[in-house]
Amino acid sequence: MSRAIVDLPEQFSFSTDITIRITDINYGGHLGNADVLALMHEARVLFLQSFGYSETSIEGFGCIMLDSVVLYKAQAFAGDVLRIEVAAGDFNRIGFDLYYRITNAKTGASVVSAKTGMAIYDYVHQKRISPPAAFVDKLQGAASV
């Protein structure tokens, strides 16, 4: 069976700590896979806010997810504090990627490595557009800091 690969960048321009809630726990007693995507969503929203954007307001357009790759490295449990780092990269005419490095804030253990393929969406005309230059410049500028 071939395995998915996520090549994380060396530097991340944003991080946030999120405590795992009891409602994030599945029947196996650990953080559920669907809840990992929800945590990534929360981190993505906070990441965009740090640049003055939201998922529905990026230089006048929205943002949609095209795909996701999530690699589970270790379990996480209720009460654990996870550090979620986010970086942007691979900008091109049809979108960009967001990378997520999730670690246990106390132990430093790697919990998840992930990537989401994103696109800028014009909801008025119902079509994908190229990422606006101002948006790309802001996010790429943060990556080089």
Residue spans of the domains in the chain: they are 14-143
Give the integer Cα–Cα distance in Å for 31 and 42.
15
CB 132 within 8 A of CB 61: yes
14-143: in CATH 3.10.129.10: yes
Terminal C-alpha separation, the chain:
39
Model confidence at 2, in pLDDT bands (50, 70, 90)? confident
Per-residue pLDDT tens digits for 46-62: 999 999 999 999 999 99
Instruction: Give the alpha-carbon dihedral of 63, 64, 66, 69, to 10 degrees.
Output: 80
Q: pTM here? A: 0.95
144 pLDDT more than 80: no
Model confidence at 143, in pLDDT bands (50, 70, 90)? low
